[in-house]
Amino acid sequence: MTAATIEPPDHAERPDPTAIDPAAATSFPLWASDADVWTCNGNDDWARAVSVTGGVSVLDPPGGPALGVMLTENVYRFTDGRDPEAYAYLEIVNDPGHEGIPVSAGYRTAAAIVLMSYAYEHGQPEPSTDQVTELETKIMQLLGDAHDAR
């Protein structure tokens, strides 16, 4: 029998032996782009901690300071029978040496915060910079309309 006469395996008849039930697999949220797993160092009361993070850029000018919004979810698992504990939070991330949010980026930062919150609550992917720009524009329009209505 030559190589030319060998038929490839029929995967319907012989499923991949590494395949598992997707419901049993570890899954990360769509909004997360990074994951870290820690094991206890002996000084903590948890056995394992899993942290997933995702974010969106607010400002990233060439040669200038970057600004972004980061979402982090931490899950702690215990070996003493306690239920796992989970925490989630948003934070503003600046380049080292830069504090706060420039006033000129206030609306854009607000848009990024809203979009990351929405992604978390609805299991959506991290927002794109185009989505941040679109919501920033809508926020400015809404505020302008509210001011004009006074």
The whole-chain average pLDDT of the chain stands at 87
pLDDT number for residue 14: 63
In which element (H, E) is residue 107 found?
helix 106-122
Strand blocks (E) in the chain: 34-39, 48-59, 67-77, 85-94
The pTM of this model reads 0.78
How high is the pLDDT of residue 42? 78
pLDDT in tens, 101-130: 989 999 999 999 999 999 999 999 999 999
Compare 64 and 14 and report the one with higher pLDDT.
Answer: 64
Q: Exposure pattern of 95-130 as b/e (b: 16+ CB <10 Å)?
A: eeeeeebeeebebbbbbbbbbbeebbeeeeebbeee
Pairing of strands 67-77, 48-59: antiparallel
pLDDT tens sequence across 95-107: 888 888 989 999 9
